[in-house]
């Protein structure tokens, strides 16, 4: 008999346009072959019009709980941030609290073998005494993201606010992780950090995967010899920080040696300052949301990942590797991935070394091609989603075997 899974999420998956959605979508598609999936999610109305209909691609049953969330940078959003100062929960968790979701979980949980909380946020709605196996799927160590936000922030008021958010996230994450029967991390580094800092003993790691059939050069687009490409949702703060860092501190250094270099930023909801920059500077191209990132990746001479903030693992690296692209990344950008500097990727952690690495690859096409081919061979050999889903399913079976208490 197939395992019955209640999968908790804070959003519908379509459009499948950011790392967390991509990982969940591919994982669920594989699990759906042998498990019965009920997908219970908050729905704030921002998903694609056909998102509910397309949910049949990754689940058997869909349960949507209406939920209102303030749009970023509106008056209501800033009011919520201010009100959060009085809360014990970090804002990134508090905004997903939902009595309606909690009631739906409690009403349905007895029908399932295992409840899977996808990301930390839905855990705010999960009672700790459920008569069901429970798994927390941690795409990141969330507190680490907020710590890095705090560390790179220069504005004193924002730095103070981010410090409070970081410490509250530490408290919530440390209290929540041990209460699940199993915790799933997406890298060995994340697993070890949760064991070390939160005292979690039931945490396992799975590799990150990529759809190697989908991410493959088509041969229909000619590469642009001095075009750099970054892909990622621009409404995620680590990506915004990465592009600010790149355009302000790295790009000018590259231009000194490659004057006609261009940067194409592909991703939804670009922040206003980036849009304004693209209007003033023709070397910066901003696409906003696109239906398919592959044509933009195929045109890249070098794929860049200048992340200074983050946790978990970056799916975009495996996607670029599968597209046979030479990649320059910070160590944080490649954190948690089993890649070797100088073999499948080039790592650089200062503006000077990052710029030098990009220039080297732009001007030495043989080296760039060698790195791209090694990267593609590695990811196709080891990181298909079927293998990742098998590892995840085995962890769920361990959780089900743990005696449950009412």
What was the pLDDT predicted at 228? 98
Higher pLDDT, 314 or 19: 19
Quote the distance between the C-alpha of residue 129 and its chain's center. Answer: 29
Look at 26-30, 216-220, 247-251, 399-403 and tell me which has the smallest mean pLDDT. 399-403
CA distance linking residue 123 with residue 116, whole number of Å: 10
pLDDT at 20: 87
User: What is the model's pLDDT at position 223?
Assistant: 80
* Rounded mean pLDDT, 130-151: 92
Is 72 a residue whose pLDDT tops 80? no
Q: What's the pLDDT at 215?
A: 93
Those residues with Cβ within 8 angstroms of residue 361's Cβ, 6 or more apart along the chain or in another chain:
301, 302, 326, 328, 346, 367, 368, 371
137-154: average pLDDT: 92
Say yes or no to pLDDT of 73 above 80. no
Mean pLDDT across the stretch 81-107?
92
pLDDT, mean of residues 293-318:
87
Phi, psi of 81 (to 5 degrees): -60, -40
Mean pLDDT within 382-402: 89
Asked if pLDDT for residue 309 goes beyond 90, the answer is: no
Kindly indicate the confidence band of residue 259, based on its pLDDT and cuts at 50, 70 and 90: very high
* Contact between 348 and 325 (Cβ < 8 Å): no
Which of 24-33, 336-345, 382-391 is modeled with the greatest confidence?
A: 24-33
* pLDDT at residue 311, as a whole number: 59
Q: Kindly tell me if the per-residue pLDDT of 11 is higher than 70.
A: yes
Any idea which of 42-56, 78-92, 247-261, 313-327 has the lowest mean pLDDT? 78-92
Give the confidence band of 387 by pLDDT, cuts at 50, 70, 90. Answer: confident
Residue 405: per-residue pLDDT: 46
Domains in the chain: ranges and CATH = 3-209+385-401 (3.40.50.2000), 227-382 (3.40.50.2000)
Q: Is the pLDDT of residue 85 over 90?
A: no
Which strand ranges, in their side-by-side order, compose the sheet holding 182-185? 61-66, 35-43, 3-9, 114-118, 133-138, 182-185, 203-205
Task: Please compute the mean of the pLDDT values over residues 380-406 and round it to a whole number.
Answer: 83
Q: How confident is residue 1, by pLDDT bands cut at 50, 70 and 90?
A: very low
| pLDDT at 208 (0 to 100) | 81
Q: Is the pLDDT of residue 406 over 50?
A: no
Say how many Å lie between the first and final Cα of the chain, rounded.
24
pLDDT at 302 over 70: yes
Q: What are the pLDDT digits (tens) for 167-181?
A: 999 999 999 999 999
Average pLDDT (284-301) is 95
Q: What is the pLDDT of residue 243?
A: 97
Measured CA to CA, the distance from residue 28 to residue 30 in angstroms comes to 5
| Separation between Cα atoms, residue 214 and residue 140, nearest integer Å | 25
Mean pLDDT of 286-291: 94
Q: Is the pLDDT of residue 404 over 70?
A: no
CA 9 → CA 125, 133, 238, distances in Å? 11, 17, 21
Decide if pLDDT at 222 tops 90: no
């Amino acid at each position: 008999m197939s395992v019955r899974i209640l999968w908790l999420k804070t959003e519908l998956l379509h459009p499948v346009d950011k790392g967390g959605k991509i990982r969940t979508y591919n994982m669920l598609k594989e699990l759906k072959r042998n498990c019965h999936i009920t997908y219970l999610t908050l729905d704030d109305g921002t998903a694609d019009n056909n998102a509910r209909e397309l949910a049949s691609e990754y689940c058997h049953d869909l349960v949507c709980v209406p939920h209102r969330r303030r749009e970023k940078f509106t008056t209501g959003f800033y009011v919520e941030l201010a009100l959060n100062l009085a809360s014990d929960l970090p804002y990134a968790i508090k905004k997903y609290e939902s009595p309606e979701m909690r009631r739906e979980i409690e009403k349905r949980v007895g029908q399932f073998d295992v409840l899977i909380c996808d990301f930390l946020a839905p855990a705010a709605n999960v009672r700790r005494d459920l008569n069901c196996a429970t798994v927390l799927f941690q795409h990141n160590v969330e507190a680490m993201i907020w710590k890095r936000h705090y560390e790179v922030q220069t504005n004193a008021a924002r730095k103070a606010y981010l410090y409070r958010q970081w410490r509250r996230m530490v408290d919530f994450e440390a209290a929540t992780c041990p209460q699940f029967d199993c915790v799933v991390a997406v890298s060995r580094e994340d697993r070890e950090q949760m064991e070390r800092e939160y005292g979690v003993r039931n945490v396992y790691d799975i590799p990150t995967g990529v759809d190697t059939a989908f991410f493959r050069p088509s041969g229909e687009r000619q590469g642009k010899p001095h075009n750099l490409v970054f892909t990622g949702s621009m409404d995620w703060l680590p990506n915004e920080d990465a592009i600010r860092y790149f355009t302000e501190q790295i790009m000018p250094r590259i231009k000194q040696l490659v004057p006609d270099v261009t940067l194409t930023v592909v991703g939804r909801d670009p922040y206003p300052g980036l849009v304004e920059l693209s209007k003033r500077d023709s070397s910066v191209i901003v696409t906003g949301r696109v239906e398919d990132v592959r044509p933009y990746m195929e045109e890249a001479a070098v794929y860049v990942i200048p992340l200074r903030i983050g946790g978990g693992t970056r799916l975009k690296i495996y996607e670029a590797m599968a597209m046979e692209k030479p990649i320059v990344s910070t160590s944080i950008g490649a954190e948690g991935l089993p890649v070797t500097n100088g073999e499948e990727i080039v790592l650089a952690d200062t503006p000077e070394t990052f710029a030098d690495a990009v220039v080297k690859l732009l001007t030495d096409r043989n080296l760039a091609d060698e790195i791209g081919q090694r990267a593609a061979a590695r990811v196709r050999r080891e990181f298909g989603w079927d293998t990742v889903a098998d590892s995840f399913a085995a962890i769920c079976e361990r959780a089900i075997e743990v005696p449950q208490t009412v």
